Amino acid sequence: CEPYQFVIKDDQDGSILELVSLSKNKTISDLYNLLMETTGLQTFQLLYFKSGENDSRVQVNLQKSCDTTLTSAGLKDGETIILALSHKDSSQSPENSEYRRLSSEALSVPEWSVSLLNRLPLNGNPHTCRTIDIRTSAAATVVNLKLQALSLFKVESVSPDTTRLRENHKTMGLQPPLREGLTLVDAGLSNGVSLVLENGRPPQDSEMTVVVNQIVSGKLLSVQEFLVDRQLTVLDMLQTACRQMKCEGTQWYLSKTDAYGDPAESLDDNTTTLMDLLVNDGDILVLQQGSVLKKDQICLCMWLAPDQQSLSPDDRSVIGGGDVSQLQDEEDKVMLELAAKLSLCDSVTTRDLNPLNSFLSPDLKQLFETLLIINKSMSVEELKQVLMSTEQFQTLRIPTSNFMRLRLMEGTRLRTVIRNNCQVFRHANAKETLNLAVQVLHFEENIGIHEMLLMLAQKIGGTRIYMPAKEFIWNTSSGVGAGDLKRVIATRLNLPLHDVLIAKYNPDTCEWTVLRDQPQKASKNKGKKKSAHKTNVRQAPYNVQDGDLIGIKLLSADKGILDSEDFSTQEDIENRQHLLQVAEEKKRIREEKKKSQSMDGFPINRRPEVPLTIRVDKFS
């Protein structure tokens, strides 16, 4: 049968004594027996108030009867019943007197309604995860509210020192545990607040709750809550967090968070207390691996790149050099190496047959186990001197810093060359780690601002196989057009200019873009002829920069076999087919999603098409 819940209050101070539930077909006598069992009282009288005429309230005494049911007595679900206790029973129950004293202090003026959820993981406790509403006052203390909750949830066997209350905010979630010496108003609570009763030591007045997020390589590994003293130093907090969160290694540091929860200001002074650093109750700290960075410092991750063949300014016999027999020997050597791979292993993929892969993503070796911290004001030459003084570089026997080249990395690719006058450190973001690769050279080098480091690879005629790529320094002071680059490459390799075609490789899309000067726009003067004008390849649409791979092919060698603009390897063709399949699958999923939404009766909202009007002033 449907149960009724009743609030039992004391007639002297109006405090809540019990919350009882009883089936509505039970009798008044059953209600008396239940209260005798729960309160331990033997002699008392129950009464309640009902509405009378002219909004008056009429007192009704509930006589102990076995025939009168709760519904026939006029009681309703949620009714408040007054328990009138005799003076004799009051003096014989010291525990009830103490409970009534605490209740009278906290609930003398019932003004607030507090929703309280029980999350005590007790075996056999039927009230676990049950929510009740308690009437209280703004002047009630947190400890008295907790004692009342323990009594209503019938968990008196649990020590109050091992339980605590915390707010469950509607939008911000669980808040830090409440200090029990404060009143509800001083604790920042309001009427209708939701509280949670849980296991845990309640914080003292000198303590606060700090949440620590452990982040490694930008990923959140664990989150843990700490109850610490406000006068705790940063070093003690760091040691406690590392011990509890089982951090490996010795270099860890703490930092504050911004409004989005990202790491912000680092706690670099280990002797300062958390209170002095304005760390408040409920703040979130981030535990990261590495050393503490100041505002004028950046973090570097150093890598050692393997040796790569280069085209020196005086070497014109590296690829061909005008000698047809030598070029043929180079091509035969590459083809023999690929044939040897096929004969030794049956499971050779097209990636293994593409010599360009080792140059696009070389095998890098990390130089230092820890990150290198430098000042933003440090120059490139000073950084080279610092690196040469380390044990790792002393074994490489580098004569001078000009035999060392520093390059920025994008993923696994070697990109921008850091020149001596570069300001990349000064403008770097302190929150991000710069990945730098070091290349040890066989000859001195000092690349200027007008020079660009490219990778050149010549295709073997009639095949989809390339010769091993080699580094090439292009001096753009004589011109930055596509024709200028082709002329310099043809001159360096001693190839016929009219038979050479060059293209830039994009490893993300596995496509080759032919580099050529764009035709000049039609002139209003009819007497002038149309001619190609120089296109700056460092700008759109080509955007050639340091580390790009430039493919070279002889048109006469591919005539009748491959298309003149076909630079693709067999691996490029297979990768483009795979990317096309992935794009088609995503398109199919989107169409199915739209179809299912339309079938469910949810129309797809699309913005209406409107004409675009552009107004341009007349400057003539």
48, β-bridge pairs:
60
* Residue position matching structure tokens 């070389």: 362
Please, what are the domains in the chain?
A: 3-95 (3.10.20.90), 109-199 (3.10.20.90), 207-292 (3.10.20.90), 299-308+362-440 (3.10.20.90), 310-359+450-519+532-571 (3.10.20.90)
Helices 142-152 & 94-107 angle (0-180, nearest 10): 130
d(CA 163, CA 199): 4
d(CA 269, CA 117): 41
Residue 116's Cβ-side half-sphere holds a number of Cα atoms within 13 Å equal to 25
User: What pLDDT score does 505 carry?
Assistant: 94
User: What pLDDT score does 258 carry?
Assistant: 86
Q: Which of 466, 480, 470 is nearest to 315 (CA)?
A: 470
Q: What is the mean pLDDT of each run of 10 residues along the chain (620 residues)?
A: 76 73 84 83 81 70 78 80 65 46 44 80 60 81 84 76 88 88 87 88 90 86 91 92 83 85 83 91 88 80 83 44 54 64 58 72 85 88 91 86 91 89 82 87 89 91 86 91 92 90 92 85 56 77 92 89 88 91 92 76 64 73
User: What pLDDT score does 561 carry?
Assistant: 85
pLDDT digits (tens, 9 = 90+) for 366-375: 888 878 889 9
* Residue position matching structure tokens 């709750």: 209
3-state secondary structure 257-273: ECCCCCEEEECCCCCCE
Identify whether the C-beta of residue 296 lies closer than 8 Å to the C-beta of residue 377: yes
* Residue position matching structure tokens 């892969």: 357
pTM over 0.75: no
| b/e per residue 521-550 (b: at least 16 CB within 10 A) | eeeeeeeeeeeeeebebeeeebebebbbbb
User: What pLDDT score does 50 carry?
Assistant: 77
